[in-house]
Amino acid sequence: MATVDLTEQDFESTILEGGIVLVDFWADWCGPCKAFAPIYDAASGDNADIVFGKVDTEDQRGLAGAAEIQAIPTLMAFRDGIGVFKQAGALPRPALDELITQIRALDMDGIRAQIAQQEAGDTAAGE
């Protein structure tokens, strides 16, 4: 699957569709972003079951701000609508492949249970 450009209008709906979504925050003037782009595009072609999104931080400043992007490139990963990874810096292909393997192996029921427990604790603390 080819990478898809994400905007403020479709970012949330893309994340919430479920499955694995990787998002590369980049800019045209960024050398490391340009070096990472072919690696990211190749991984996209090899993983048709994953959505590979790209956010141009110059064009989508509001979205980059909402995602608290402070350096680019920044890679974010979501699984089943839950953010599971965020890191600035370009990854070499083996590291990107390992990240994808780790995301595939996540126990999402366990993660949802942890989130529910945290939210219940936050609610109890706020009473």
List residues with catalytic annotation: 30, 33
CB 41, CB 90: distance < 8 Å: no
Task: Name the strands in the sheet holding 20-26, side by side, starting at the edge strand that comes first in the sequence.
Answer: 4-5, 51-56, 20-26, 74-79, 82-88
Burial (CB count <10 Å: 0-12, 13-18, 19+), residue 94 = exposed
Which amino acid makes up residue 44? S
